Structure formats: C-alpha cells, structure tokens
Amino acid sequence: MADIDKALPNVKTEIRVPGEEEIQVAQEETIQEQVGPEDVEVTQEENRLKEINIIRIEQERKTQEEQEERERIDPIYKENISKAEQEKLAELERVSQLKEKRILDEQQKLELMNQNYTEKLDKIENEKIIALENINKLKEKRISEEQKDKEDNFHS
C-alpha cells in the first residue's frame, strides 16, 4: 500500500490549553449558574465569618504564646530578683559588720586615750603630792631651824 503524506483537512493539529484566568472565570461562571444570588450572599457572609474566626484564632494563639513566654521568663526574673536581694542582704550585712568593727575600734581608741589621760593625771597628782610633801618637809625643816636659831639666840 502506498503512504499518504497529506494531512486530513478536518482535523486540527493544535491543542489550545486555557490559562489560569480563563479557568477561574469559567469556574466562577459555573458556580454562579449553579448558585443563586442569595446563596452568594450567604457564602460571602460565611467567608467573612471564617476570616473573623481566623483572625480571632490568630489573636488567641498570639495571646497564648505571649502568656507562655511570660511564664517562661517570670521564673528567670524572679530568680534574678532573688539573687539581687540576697546580694543586697549580704552587702548590708558586710556594711553592718564594718560599722560594728569601726565602732569597736573607736571605743578602744577612746578607752586607750582615757586610760592615757587618767595615767597622766594620776602621775601629775602624785608629782603634786610629792612636791607638796617636799614643801611641807622644807617648811618643817625651816621652822625647826628657826626654832633652833631662836633657842640658840635665846641661850646665847
């Protein structure tokens, strides 16, 4: 048999594929033909409700995440605050001990100064007493010498 290289006249060789826009328009037309205007309004309300519900769920999720983050961070802050308070108390205790030591040192210095002054006063008083005793002895000696001179003058 013989080969025929001629194309058939009523057969198309190109296949046309519709674009996404054409498909979407066709689907919307089909939906509108199947669904009445009341159904479209109900569907729009349902879509709005779904959007609102999605927004509400997202907000609840964010709130929950924030709460979980706070719950995770709160113990850390509380621990840091507790450490800071303990450090503060330790520092206050150290300051208190330093104050007590300083007060004791000052008291010891005052006691030492008082003791030194008391010793000096005692020494001065003792020297004064000794000087007075010496003066009294000298007076007695002078008096006795004067009496002896009087007696000698009287007897001579």
DSSP track, the chain: -----PPPTT-----PPPPHHHHHHHHHHHHHHHS-HHHHHHHHHHHHHHHHHHHHHHHHHHHHHHHHHHHHHHHHHHHHHHHHHHHHHHHHHHHHHHHHHHHHHHHHHHHHHHHHHHHHHHHHHHHHHHHHHHHHHHHHHHHHHHHHHHHHHHH-
The structural domain count of the chain equals 1
pLDDT digits (tens, 9 = 90+) for 3-60: 555 555 555 555 566 677 777 777 777 666 555 556 556 678 888 888 899 999 999 9
Any domain includes 67: yes
Average pLDDT of the residues of the chain: 84
Q: How confident is the model at residue 65 (pLDDT cuts 50, 70, 90)?
A: very high
pLDDT at 14: 59
Q: What is the mean pLDDT of residues 97-108?
A: 97
pLDDT at 117: 95
Residue 14 lies in a domain: no
Give me the domain span that covers residue 46.
25-119
Tell whether 139 is covered by a domain: no
Domain contains 1? no
pLDDT > 70: percent of the chain: 78
Residue 97 lies in a domain: yes
Q: Is residue 19 in a domain?
A: no
Residue 64 belongs to some domain of the structure? yes
Query: What's this model's pTM, rounded to 2 decimal places?
Result: 0.40
In a domain, residue 55? The reply is: yes
